[in-house]
């Protein structure tokens, strides 16, 4: 697979789960992948990329830190000379009933999930504008962006915000040959999701999901690779739902 040959991609939250699968998939398709995270696990992702014959590196990036995002974008541009793909994947989903929600709970989720997307996009877009090309792919969620989800008001607000941001930015950047799209995953089997939900809840979801299974990180990664490729050059401002049919039940 070579459809992303020599494209330079930055993936946030690439230490595990969906972000890691995206990083590996983009590398398999020929992209030079900069895996970023805050846990150190971004180094393991970069190692795995090398093991499969891919190219790239790991950088620490806390998406809540706008200055750090600027540094990362500068480092990547200085090393490779271009930044072609940005995948805003980093996100947290700490369940909390609204009646128990503290200011800290609310601001933390908005800061990572929504301000984080702004911070990193803001840092990368000037490079894409100069080169008059780019692909920005934002990982939203079924929750908030498509359906209501009890226990996740803060998260739902952040993910609905990502969709609004995606649409408005798509309009502003179309003239520069930059596309901006969002993906809304349903229930995906990841370390983060496993920690958040009980086995009971997983069984309940599998019963509801028409495809009869949870999604895999690779189910999301393959859509990201498509949106990042030339084949998707006329798609912008879109929200792609990947949920095994859950939202149409």
φ, ψ of residue 224 in degrees (nearest 5): -65, -45
Paired tokens of 17? 């789960």
Considering only the stretches 2-10, 14-22, 164-172, 174-182, report the one whose residues sit in contact with ligand NAI under the rule CB under 6 A. 14-22
Of 93, 127, 165, 246, the residue at the interface with ligand NAI (CB under 6 A) is 93
Please report whether residue 39 would count as binding ligand NAI according to CB under 6 A.
yes
The secondary element (H helix, E strand) that includes residue 34 is strand 32-37
Cβ 69 to ligand NAI shortest distance, Å? 10
- Alpha carbons within 13 A on the beta-carbon side of 129: 10
Whether 176 is catalytic: no
The binder of ligand NAI chosen from 91, 134, 144, 161 (CB under 6 A): 91
Catalytic residue of the set 155, 176, 226, 234 = 155
Question: Helices 153-173 & 116-131, crossing angle to 10 degrees?
Answer: 10
* Closer by beta carbon to ligand NAI, 35 or else 232: 35
46-52: long-range contacts, CB 8 A cutoff, minimum separation 24: 48/20, 48/24, 49/23, 49/24, 52/24, 52/27, 52/28
Binding mask 45-84 toward ligand NAI (x if CB under 6 A, else -) reads ----------------xxxx--------------------
DSSP letter at 20?
H
Nearest distance in Å: CB 5, ligand NAI = 26
- Answer for the pair 147, 177: CB distance below 8 angstroms, yes or no: no
Q: Which residues are catalytic?
A: 155
What is the contact surface with ligand NAI in residues (CB under 6 A)?
12-13, 15-19, 37-39, 41, 61-64, 89-93, 112, 116, 139, 141, 185, 187-188, 190-193
């Amino acid at each position: 697979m070579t459809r992303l040959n020599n494209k330079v991609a930055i993936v946030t939250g690439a230490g595990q789960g969906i972000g890691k699968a995206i990083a590996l998939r983009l590398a398999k398709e020929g992209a030079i992948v900069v895996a970023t995270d805050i846990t150190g696990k971004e180094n393991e992702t970069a190692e795995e990329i090398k093991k499969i014959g891919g190219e790239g590196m790991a950088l620490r990036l806390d998406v809540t830190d706008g200055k750090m995002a600027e540094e990362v974008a500068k480092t990547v541009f200085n090393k490779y000379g271009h930044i072609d793909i940005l995948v805003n994947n980093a996100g947290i989903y700490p369940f909390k009933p609204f009646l128990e929600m503290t200011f800290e709970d609310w601001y933390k989720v908005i800061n990572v999930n929504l301000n984080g997307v702004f911070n990193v996009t803001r840092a990368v877009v000037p490079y894409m504008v100069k080169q008059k090309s780019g692909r920005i792919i934002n990982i939203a969620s079924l929750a908030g962006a498509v359906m209501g989800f009890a226990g996740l008001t803060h998260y739902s607000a952040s993910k609905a915000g990502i969709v609004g941001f995606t649409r408005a930015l798509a309009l502003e950047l179309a003239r520069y040959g930059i596309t901006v799209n969002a993906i809304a995953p349903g229930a995906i089997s990841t370390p983060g999701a496993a920690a958040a939900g009980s086995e009971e809840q997983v069984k309940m979801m599998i019963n509801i999901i028409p495809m009869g299974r949870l999604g895999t990180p690779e189910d999301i990664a393959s859509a990201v690779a498509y949106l990042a490729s030339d084949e998707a050059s006329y798609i912008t401002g879109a929200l792609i739902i990947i949920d095994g049919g859950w939202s149409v039940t």
